[in-house]
Chain A
Amino acid sequence: MSDSIGIELPPIDDLLHEPARLRLLVLLSVVKRTDFTYLLKLSGMSKGNLSVQMNKLGDANMVKIDKSFQGNRPRTMYELTAQGRKALREYKKNMNAILAALPD
């Protein structure tokens, strides 16, 4: 049995530490709110992937999801929640701390 040395790195949120979700959260963090189509264009992701990732973020209460109709077209609006904004700030702080420990 080996002993752990016990060096602790700042915690990294697995939900945010995924490139597609992180990209979406960063995009949402710079606007007030946006719809599915605009997010699709900005992210360059496929519809399926975008939908799956946004639902995961919605389930974790990082993103508020509003579904409505514009005429006969469905429209889903997304908005970063206060919890999502806080998680993103925390993620940035922790990643900065980890990256700062890296040798040049």
Chain B
Amino acid sequence: MGAIESRVYRAYWNDGLLDVFAAVGVLAIGISWTFDVVVAGAVTPALLVPLWGPFRQRFIEPRLGTVEFSDARERTNRERLRLVILLGVGAFALGVSLYFLRDRLALDPDVSLIAGLPAFLLAVLAALTALLVSTGRFLAYAALLILAGAIGATSGWEPGLILVSAAFPMLLVAIAVLLRFFRNNPVTTEGPE
């Protein structure tokens, strides 16, 4: 796809709402893990997905408008989305397995990085999201999750705390991006100026 199409596509995802959703998702998973209600963390993405459309329609579209992309772009996106979902399900399954096996795994010093595994898996997801929405910030979030996973795991933190420690800077960046978008893009109505 051409350079102009890529720029048009990138502009669609540069408002920060997806960043906020991602950060809230990571934070919710981290908090629920910390408080031993890991299932609540799993439910969070399912709660966030249906909110996406109404939130975008309410807060972004009056400022940015709306666009339907070409069939070629839609096809590429569907393929990439399938990969993201597959990895997301894999990350969830691994996370839940890790949760139930945590006591047994903690006995083995050779697998100390295992506590960082949920963060590493979410980093893969963030990197794939960067590919899906052509937004470099998600690569930065991926790097942040890997860093938090490595530091947290070698420092003996619980997986939940590792995720929370990565989610807070993510959320701060996401809110800053969203506020900048709101500031630079007031609600626009059609008709005379």
The interface size bin for chain B is: 20 to 34
Contact of B64 among A33, A38, A48 (CB under 8 A): A38
- Least CB separation from B58: chain A residue: A71
Rounded to whole angstroms, the CA-CA distance of A48 and B191 in the bound complex is 8
Contact assessment for A34 and B66 in the assembled complex, using a CB-CB cutoff below 8 Å: yes
Contact of B70 among A31, A35, A74 (CB under 8 A): A31
What are the residues of chain B within 8 A of A37 when measuring CB–CB?
61-66, 188, 190
Contact assessment for A30 and B2 in the assembled complex, using a CB-CB cutoff below 8 Å: yes
Contact assessment for A38 and B66 in the assembled complex, using a CB-CB cutoff below 8 Å: yes
Is A83 on the interface with B (CB-CB < 8 A)? no
What are the residues of chain A within 8 A of B185 when measuring CB–CB?
41
Known contacts A26-B4, A31-B5, A41-B11; A73/B189 CB under 8 A: yes
Known contacts A47-B192, A75-B190; A30/B70 CB under 8 A: yes
Beta-carbon contacts under 8 Å, A48-89 to B: 48, 73-76
Total interface residues on A, using CB and 8 Å? 22
**Binary per-residue interface labels of chain B (52-70) against chain A in the complex, 1 for a CB within 8 Å, 0 otherwise:** 0000000001111111111
Contact of A30 among B8, B63, B64 (CB under 8 A): B8
Query: Which B residues are within 8 Å of any A CB, using their own CB?
Result: 1-2, 4-5, 8, 11, 61-71, 185, 188-193
Query: Which A residues are within 8 Å of any B CB, using their own CB?
Result: 26-27, 30-42, 46-48, 73-76
Given A40-B188, A41-B65, 20 further pairs, Cβ under 8 A: A27-B8, A30-B4, A30-B70, A31-B68, A31-B69, A32-B69, A32-B70, A33-B67, A34-B66, A36-B65, A37-B63, A37-B190, A38-B66, A41-B64, A41-B188, A42-B11, A46-B193, A47-B190, A73-B190, A74-B190
